Amino acid sequence: MGADLKDFEPWLALWTLVPEGDVMSMPVTRSRLLPVRAGEQAAMLKLAHSADERRGASIMAWWDGQGAAPVLAFQDQALLMLRAPGGALVPMVQAGRDEAATAILCQVVARLHAPRGSAPPTAPPLDDLFAALLQSTDPTLAGARGVASSLLETSRDPVLLHGDIHHGNVLDFGALGWLAIDPWGLVGERAYDYANIFPNPDLASVTPDRVAARLSQIAKTAELEPARLRAWAHAHAGLSAAWHAQDGTDPAAPRAMLAILEAS
């Protein structure tokens, strides 16, 4: 076994898994993935790199396949989940079917937020996520900072949030439908889980017409106050721009969102 594959070996033995591909590394979280066969099922074995990612495994298990990929087993840093036979929503958007993709995202979020019979796993408050924006001294983010502060101070409709809903984190699971993967897990206002849809999947999606269309569609579908949803999109765009500044990466999409929202 290669060095990377050796890290998976205890879990391959524990759950009687057969590797079916190469080890993949997630660029932001640095967690690693390995396609495997679990009996007759195609599955994905994930080794979390951080405590946040480990928390995501317990949240996925709590969702129990309702809106999220079914979890077959999890222990410590290892998560074994069903593997999606299909892809993500990005090609649908690129083919001009943005309304259909947005509808799917809304359906998935609604399922994740649906009431369940047991208490959810413990998760940090949404306020913690906004530290990068709230502590930023960038004057161009002053408007977004003010919006975020106001929203967090007047938070409503608290739920266990996925925290990173976008077109690459919702996959086609065939007969099971479209399901989410890779949650961050936070407790906060449900509207936030729709905010990350707007600057995704790429810069080409961030136009005044498309932002307006998504605002209208999401607000209606999710039964959200349009002004409140718009405010969360504004706050999230500021947060994303602050993250890019910290990481030294391209902030084009969130900056385009900020320009659109602050110009109208």
Instruction: Catalogue the active-site residues.
Output: 164
Backbone φ and ψ of 160, nearest 5°: -80, 115
**Rounded to an integer, what distance in angstroms lies between the CA atom of residue 59 and that of residue 120?**
7
| Bridge partner residues of 37 (DSSP) | 18, 42
Q: What angle do CA 194, 195, 196 make, to 5 degrees?
A: 95
Strand partners, 188: 159
What are the structure tokens assigned to 92, written together?
């649908």
- Asked whether 230 and 261 are in contact (CB, 8 A), the reply is yes
Question: In angstroms, rounded to a whole number, what is the distance separating the alpha carbons of residues 191 and 246?
Answer: 25
| Sequence letter at residue 12 | L
Hey, what are 241's tokens? 């721009």
- In whole angstroms, what is the distance from residue 224 CA to residue 211 CA? 16
Helices 252-263, 142-153: inter-axial angle, 10-degree rounding: 80
Judged by DSSP in three states, 174 sits in helix
Backbone dihedral angles phi then psi of residue 45, each to the nearest 5 degrees: -105, 125
Q: What are the contacts of 18-24 at 24+ separation with CB within 8 A?
A: none
